[in-house]
């Protein structure tokens, strides 16, 4: 391909990500669309002028910079800069490898260290939760750890997507991750593994209290949840606890599907875009789950898990117990581009059934209970020391806190 044709292709890519965004499917990390390409054009004189400026500057760099420059990297970073200029930490452009990793995360199966992260206002990467029995979880990485180095490289301020791309890699390979915790740095030398996350785990407490923990909403979560809830019901449970603590979100469709099993025919969430267009997402089940229910939440409960929690709270289907949730009330769309790259763009706000937008605010539990101080930063809290779980049992059964030692079954899928 000659130089001029190559620049034309690059111009098309730049225009591709700046105009005519199409329809979408809703997910917590974005709205998934599997269209492969868009044919776009610009009729704006200003747009054409700015695009020409980009090509002119590219020509200057290629012809006059004292060393050779990778033109693909140059243009991909120019596109990244365009998305960064939006000032929204949830909107981003992804290279082919980065986009592949992003899409893998929605399936719950990938190769890495087993950690859910978010990004703060300074573009630092913060741990929401580390999965049990994962390299990160087993090494002792915990919620609110700030990732400051990966393999010795300072990654502060470089954004969550960049840090994730550095931590992902082939199973069996090693990666060093340094975190800042309470002002002190701690380094974990980890070996990447194939992460096939079991996002739903359940058990029966005291013979009649069903307990279901959901760690993330992936493509298989809703089916696993429905299967395990049916199994608990077959064991004669009279109460239900849903644990969404440290659930950083995932696919909104999955969250809505879980709500469909619980709430009957009702609103779950609705979105409003820039033009004021509203889109409703509803539970359509004929029958509402007829069990007293508690939902456990904390500061790591975010996005899709806040959608489920908010719907349960607004419809009075259950009681929220714990601490205030994370507060992510905006929606992204994710689109692949024809070269394997892609982008994520915030395109709407979401609202609970009663019209609450919780972005930057979070959900306030019906009953606020702090976790036992000795286990606030731990992934593994003994049930008899879990003050939030104990309050849930007390609320459901109307009795004083008990030690749930007589678990009658345990299942994980």
Name 367's bridge partners: 321
176, 195, 214: which is the final residue of a domain?
195
Determine whether 360 is exposed, middle or buried from the number of CB atoms within 10 Å of its CB (0-12, 13-18, 19+). exposed
Residue pLDDT, tens place only, 330-350: 988 889 999 999 999 999 999
Q: Is residue 58 part of a domain?
A: yes
> Torsion angle, CA of 365/201/247/257, rounded to 10 degrees?
-80
- On whether the pTM is more than 0.75, the answer is no
pLDDT computed for residue 45 by the predictor: 58
258 and 331: one domain? yes
Specify whether the CB–CB gap between 385 and 373 falls below 8 A.
no
Instruction: Kindly tell me the sign of the dihedral angle through the C-alpha atoms of 354, 358, 364, 370.
Output: positive
62 and 161: one domain? no
353 and 269: one domain? yes
245 and 174: one domain? no
94, 129, 156: which is the final residue of a domain?
94
133 vs 344, residue with greater confidence: 344
The count of structural domains within the chain is 3
314 and 347: one domain? yes
Angle at Cα 234 formed by Cα 316 and Cα 379, nearest 5°?
65
In this structure, what DSSP letter does residue 217 have? B
Q: Per the structure block, which two tokens stand in for 369?
A: 């209970």
Residue 258 has pLDDT above 90, yes or no: yes
The whole-chain average pLDDT of the chain stands at: 83
26 vs 106, residue with greater confidence: 106
Q: Which of 249, 337, 348 is nearest to 24 (CA)?
A: 348
Angle at Cα 307 formed by Cα 301 and Cα 312, nearest 5°?
100
Q: Which of 293, 218, 206 is nearest to 257 (CA)?
A: 218
Catalytic residue from among 105, 255, 303, 305 = 303
Known catalytic residue at 328: yes
What residues contact 181, with CB distance under 8 A and at least 6 apart?
142, 144, 145, 146, 377
Q: What is the mean pLDDT of residues 184-205?
A: 90
Q: Is residue 99 part of a domain?
A: no
Give me the domain span that covers residue 14.
Answer: 3-94
Catalytic residue from among 7, 80, 220, 328 = 328
Does residue 183 sit in helix, strand or coil? coil
pLDDT computed for residue 103 by the predictor: 81
130 and 143: one domain? yes
Specify whether the CB–CB gap between 212 and 412 falls below 8 A.
no
311 and 395: one domain? yes
Catalytic residue from among 255, 314, 344, 391 = 314
Residue pLDDT, tens place only, 12-34: 344 333 333 332 333 333 333 23
190 and 90: one domain? no
Known catalytic residue at 121: no
Q: What is the mean pLDDT of residues 258-270?
A: 95
Known catalytic residue at 397: no
Instruction: Kindly tell me the sign of the dihedral angle through the C-alpha atoms of 58, 62, 66, 72.
Output: positive
E strands within 135-229?
Answer: 146-150, 153-154, 174-181, 184-191, 193-196, 200-205, 209-214
Question: In angstroms, rounded to a whole number, what is the distance separating the alpha carbons of residues 214 and 305?
Answer: 9
Question: In angstroms, rounded to a whole number, what is the distance separating the alpha carbons of residues 385 and 368?
Answer: 17
Q: Which of 383, 386, 379 is nearest to 138 (CA)?
A: 379
167 and 60: one domain? no
Question: In angstroms, rounded to a whole number, what is the distance separating the alpha carbons of residues 18 and 33?
Answer: 17
Q: What is the mean pLDDT of residues 87-107?
A: 83
DSSP track, 321-387: EES------EEEEEEE-TTS-EEEEEEEEEE-TT----TTT-PPPSEE-PPPGGGTT-S---GGG-H
223 and 327: one domain? yes
Question: Tokens 């307990």 correspond to what residue?
Answer: 211
pLDDT computed for residue 327 by the predictor: 94
% the chain with pLDDT above 90: 57
28, 63, 94: which is the final residue of a domain?
94
Question: In angstroms, rounded to a whole number, what is the distance separating the alpha carbons of residues 319 and 392?
Answer: 9
What residues contact 75, with CB distance under 8 A and at least 6 apart?
10, 13, 14, 58
Number of other residues whose CB lies within 10 A of the CB of residue 11 = 18
What confidence category does residue 43 fall into, taking pLDDT thresholds of 50, 70 and 90? very low
Residue 11 has pLDDT above 50, yes or no: no
CA 162 to chain centre: 16
In this structure, what DSSP letter does residue 27 have? B
């Amino acid at each position: 391909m000659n130089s001029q044709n190559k620049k034309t292709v690059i111009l098309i890519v730049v225009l591709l990500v700046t105009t005519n965004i199409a329809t979408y499917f809703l997910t917590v990390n974005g709205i998934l669309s599997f269209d492969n390409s868009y044919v776009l054009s610009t009729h704006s004189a200003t747009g054409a002028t700015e695009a020409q400026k980009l090509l002119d500057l590219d020509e200057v760099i290629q012809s006059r910079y004292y060393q050779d420059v990778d033109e693909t990297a140059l243009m991909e970073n120019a596109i990244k800069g365009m998305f960064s200029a939006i000032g929204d930490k949830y909107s981003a452009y992804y290279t082919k490898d980065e986009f592949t990793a992003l899409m893998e995360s929605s399936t719950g199966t990938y190769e890495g260290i087993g950690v859910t992260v978010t990004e703060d206002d300074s573009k630092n990467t913060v741990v929401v939760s580390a999965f049990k029995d994962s390299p990160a979880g087993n090494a002792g990485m915990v919620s609110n750890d700030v990732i400051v180095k990966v393999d010795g490289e300072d990654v502060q301020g470089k954004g969550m997507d960049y840090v994730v791309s550095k931590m992902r890699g082939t199973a069996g390979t090693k990666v060093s991750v340094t975190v800042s915790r309470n002002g002190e740095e701690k380094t974990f030398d980890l070996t990447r593994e194939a992460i096939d996350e079991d996002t739903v785990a359940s058990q029966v407490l005291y013979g009649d209290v069903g307990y279901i923990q959901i760690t993330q909403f992936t493509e298989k979560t809703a089916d696993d949840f429905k299967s395990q809830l049916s199994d608990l019901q077959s064991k004669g449970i009279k109460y239900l606890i849903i644990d969404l603590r440290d659930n950083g979100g995932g696919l909104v469709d999955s969250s809505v599907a879980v709500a469909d099993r619980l709430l009957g025919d009702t609103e779950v969430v609705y979105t409003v875009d820039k033009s004021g267009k509203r889109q409703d997402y509803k539970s359509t089940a004929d029958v509402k789950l007829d069990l007293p229910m508690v939902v456990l939440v904390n500061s790591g409960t975010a996005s899709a898990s806040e959608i489920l929690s908010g719907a349960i709270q607004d419809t009075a289907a259950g009681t929220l117990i714990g601490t205030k949730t994370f507060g992510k009330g905006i929606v992204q769309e994710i689109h692949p581009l024809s070269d394997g790259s892609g982008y994520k763009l915030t395109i709407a706000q979401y609202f609970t059934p009663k019209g609450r937008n919780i972005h930057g605010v979070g959900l306030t539990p019906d009953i606020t209970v702090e976790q036992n101080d000795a286990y606030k930063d731990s992934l593994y809290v003994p049930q008899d020391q879990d003050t939030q779980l104990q309050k849930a049992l007390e609320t459901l059964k109307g009795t004083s806190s008990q030690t749930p030692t007589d678990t009658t079954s345990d299942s994980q899928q």
